[in-house]
Amino acid sequence: MARFSRPSTPRLLYTLYTSPSKTVQSPSPSPSPSPSPASSLLLGYFHLRQFSSGNLARAKEDKEPWWKDSMDKLRNIGISAHIDSGKTTLTERVLFYTGKIHEIHEVRGRDGVGAKMDSMDLEREKGITIQSAATYCTWNGYQVNIIDTPGHVDFTIEVERALRVLDGAILVLCSVGGVQSQSITVDRQMRRYEVPRLAFINKLDRMGADPWKVLNQARAKLRHHSAAMQVPIGLEEDFKGLVDLVQMKALYFHGSSGEKIVIEEVPADMEALVTEKRRELIEVVSEVDDKLAEAFLADEPISSTDLEEAVRRATIAQKFIPVFMGSAFKNKGVQPLLNAVLSYLPCPIEVSNYALDQTKNEEKVALGGTPDGPLVALAFKLEEGRFGQLTYLRIYEGVIRKGDFIFNINTGKKIKVPRLVRMHSDEMEDIQEAHAGQIVAVFGVDCASGDTFTDGSVKYTMTSMNVPEPVMSLAVQPVSKDSGGQFSKALNRFQKEDPTFRVGLDPESGQTIISGMGELHLDIYVERIRREYKVDATVGKPRVNFRETVTQRAEFDYLHKKQSGGQGQYGRVCGYVEPLPAGSPTKFEFENMIVGQAIPSNFIPAIEKGFKEAANSGSLIGHPVEHVHVVLTDGAAHAVDSSELAFKLAAIYAFRKCYTAAKPVILEPVMLVELKVPMEFQGTVAGDINKRKGVIIGNDQEGDDSVITAHVPLNNMFGYSTALRSMTQGKGEFTMEYKEHSPVSHDVQTQLINNYKGTHAAE
């Protein structure tokens, strides 16, 4: 029996071939001729495994549960990268080789079709991904769930929530652009959610491709402990194939779409380089894997199996990042990457997930991740489909079936599952049940993004994801009065789907204000209102989300007293406001330091509420006040006239009165801007950044380009893309992401206050 037991790690597809030159037919969408000896061997191997697992199932009924094999053969991965690194193109190839789609279409679909995962018209027109799309495919008997995420920083929440629910990820890097600003952001997000990852250096067919430069950048900029798993055979237009450093075989990709893999010996002229790179790989993995280190230090020969198992252990432990190479556009290197996903990324039960037990004061509970436990599922993404709200669920434990009753722990509601589907971009397939580790969608379930569902036997919630604060606002209103209903319906839907998109009313002008992560983010939503809801909207000038804060301590002692027949109002509050220490996680803190019963304790919440309300609007320019610590030290109450309202009003007036004495300042959002411009325009662009009150913090040279990193106030960045194009003859590009709110200069503060007073005086 023992010799049939399942190998501990999935073998790479091409480990089974012994003769020096063989062709492997990938599981291709088109009907294939009679299988080659190699593929027969492969089929035989899988039949053997199925037969053995069938026999073993009976022998091991007591030891191995029914779900063990299906969990081992499941992978949940995300594909993330900087804009234009080739994420969607890579996903398109993966779907083609796994037989999920039968034709390859390009991202900027000249044939009018466009990539499968970019299902929105806007995505196909602009050639960018706006919403993350989920799909699933089968490769070598394994089920792989894939989420293709956007690269643009304005849609960062899409990446954030995809990584929140995935077990592994592929970080795509461009072999020409290297590690760019958004690559750093995405890597930081992967680190935050502790996602084991592979790196894939794409576009080796492009002019100027240099994978070794990119690998060194990843080590320096991303602090990756990584090494190459492959060596390219030729680069740019001479890129022919790859040498696999684990198996020490050369792989060539033939056929119209690279579907036939030909395996040969390593070319003689590359042997020295390949031996050196394999030794480097073993050294790097040995640093983080004790078992391999022992063999390496004892100078024992290291077999491909030993190396593969060590890489898997180190990758799952997030101590090592294997680096693969290829060109998705030219159909080279995608199948070995798929094999690597099976070989090196974890299955759902190899990842630690934690829930918070609501019955035990949010105590952390480790989830087993098995279908045997109680149901725990997280709603991580919502979409308004043709048939109502579509809720994407990641199941962490237990089983969900169509027709089951489930409980929303966040709202306390009991819901029946009317329809359960698996998603393939915008297509869906009905299923009867799904178990732990899977990503599915349910219809007709009313919930919010981040809600946790259980079967009612436990009260667990999953930890929420990090939602960045919006940095830019626009005033929008429908052109015709009749379309108000559709307009508000659209805004409600988008707000529910996207946590970084906020809608509010300007109390002074009565206008609807939408806030988001940047110009493109808000433009896309205004365009979607027009297309999907047929509502034309007028858009006001973009507004920056300023904040106010205090810079020094100021005392307050305020008595609110009002007598107008009947019960009066009486409340006195004493204390001080001061700035919170730098790096404090909270934006507002209230502390009650009253000793004794000068103010009855039942009025304290009303006082806190009053201070919070007062901090919603500072007196400089009417924006919220942040990083403020309010301390209540004394006060007085009246036996009859004191009430919650009296103390709330006393707190509001006390805050306003002492605010000026606390030397308030205005904070503005500062963006981290990365520019890539040809060397000849470097001086002009740097001068323009200085004019915009930016601070240049870095200037590197990459080939003929200059890469400038700067911190620039968002208020000075409107229309920058047009200005940059005219300065660089259309050759410059830039990316921008929110860094922090920091104080404005004295002259800008005076100007902002005068503008604010001017508009109020006019009203």
Q: Is residue 85 marked as binding?
A: yes
Q: Is residue 148 marked as binding?
A: yes
Per-residue pLDDT at 708: 92
Each residue's pLDDT tens digit, 245-284: 999 999 999 888 888 889 999 998 999 999 999 999 999 9
CATH number at residue 699: 3.30.70.240
pLDDT-based confidence at residue 66 (cuts at 50, 70, 90)? low
* Cut 0.75: pTM above it: no
Same domain, yes or no: 422 and 312:
no
Mean of per-residue pLDDT scores for the chain = 81
Closest C-alpha to 474, from 508, 519, 507: 519
Same domain, yes or no: 451 and 485:
no
Predicted confidence (pLDDT) at residue 88 exceeds the cutoff of 60: yes
**How large a percentage of the chain has pLDDT more than 70?**
85
Same domain, yes or no: 236 and 87:
yes
Lowest mean pLDDT among 207-211, 264-268, 276-280, 380-384: 380-384
CATH number at residue 202: 3.40.50.300
Q: Is residue 83 marked as binding?
A: yes
Same domain, yes or no: 384 and 332:
no
Q: Is residue 202 marked as binding?
A: yes
CB atoms within 10 A of CB 272: 9
More confident residue, 59 or 690: 690
Q: For residue 49, tell me if it sits in a domain.
A: no
Cα dihedral sign for 593, 599, 603, 609?
Answer: negative
In the numeric block, the tokens 């960062």 are attached to 156
Q: For residue 760, tell me if it sits in a domain.
A: no
DSSP 165-200: H-SEEEEEEETTTBS-HHHHHHHHHHHHTT--EEEE
pLDDT-based confidence at residue 28 (cuts at 50, 70, 90)? very low
Q: For residue 320, tell me if it sits in a domain.
A: yes
Overall average pLDDT of the 362-391 stretch:
81
The number of residues in the chain equals 763
Same domain, yes or no: 430 and 499:
no
Closest C-alpha to 156, from 461, 501, 425, 476: 501
Q: For residue 493, tell me if it sits in a domain.
A: yes
Helix (H) or strand (E) holding 718: none
Q: For residue 370, tell me if it sits in a domain.
A: yes
pLDDT-based confidence at residue 178 (cuts at 50, 70, 90)? confident
More confident residue, 117 or 416: 416
Q: Is residue 82 marked as binding?
A: yes
**How large a percentage of the chain has pLDDT more than 90?**
23
Each residue's pLDDT tens digit, 427-441: 778 888 888 888 888
Q: For residue 47, tell me if it sits in a domain.
A: no
Predicted confidence (pLDDT) at residue 2 exceeds the cutoff of 80: no
Overall average pLDDT of the 637-658 stretch:
89
Q: For residue 106, tell me if it sits in a domain.
A: yes
Same domain, yes or no: 262 and 382:
no
Same domain, yes or no: 151 and 278:
yes
pLDDT-based confidence at residue 126 (cuts at 50, 70, 90)? low
Per-residue pLDDT at 465: 67
Q: For residue 59, tell me if it sits in a domain.
A: no
CA angle 685, 689, 626 (to 5 degrees): 155
Gap between the Cα atoms of 604 and 242, Å rounded: 69
Per-residue pLDDT at 322: 95
pLDDT-based confidence at residue 228 (cuts at 50, 70, 90)? very high
Predicted confidence (pLDDT) at residue 150 exceeds the cutoff of 80: no
Same domain, yes or no: 504 and 377:
no
Per-residue pLDDT at 363: 82
Per-residue pLDDT at 109: 47
- Structure token pair of residue 115: 């990539």
Q: Is residue 210 marked as binding?
A: no
Looking at 344, 373, 399, the residue that finishes a domain is: 344
Overall average pLDDT of the 205-226 stretch:
91
Same domain, yes or no: 185 and 261:
yes
pLDDT-based confidence at residue 123 (cuts at 50, 70, 90)? low
Same domain, yes or no: 236 and 330:
yes
Predicted confidence (pLDDT) at residue 463 exceeds the cutoff of 50: yes
In the numeric block, the tokens 């860094």 are attached to 739
CB 698 within 8 A of CB 750: no
CATH number at residue 404: 2.40.30.10
Q: Is residue 203 marked as binding?
A: yes
Q: Is residue 225 marked as binding?
A: no
Looking at 414, 431, 461, the residue that finishes a domain is: 461
* Counted domains in the chain: 5
Domain containing 522 equals 475-544
Gap between the Cα atoms of 513 and 339, Å rounded: 48
Predicted confidence (pLDDT) at residue 592 exceeds the cutoff of 50: yes
Looking at 544, 576, 604, the residue that finishes a domain is: 544
Q: Is residue 204 marked as binding?
A: yes
Beta bridge partners of 708: 675, 699
Q: Is residue 205 marked as binding?
A: yes
Gap between the Cα atoms of 529 and 499, Å rounded: 17
Q: Which residues, in sequence order, are CB contacts of 176 under 8 Å at separation 6+?
A: 203, 206, 207, 208, 209, 210
pLDDT-based confidence at residue 694 (cuts at 50, 70, 90)? very high
Same domain, yes or no: 384 and 522:
no
Question: Is residue 727 helix, strand or coil?
Answer: helix
DSSP 259-292: -EEEEEPPPGGGHHHHHHHHHHHHHHHHTT-HHH
More confident residue, 654 or 465: 654
Q: Is residue 86 marked as binding?
A: yes
Q: Is residue 81 marked as binding?
A: yes
Same domain, yes or no: 265 and 412:
no
More confident residue, 5 or 483: 483
DSSP 57-80: HHHTTTTS-TTHHHHHTEEEEEEE
More confident residue, 141 or 50: 141
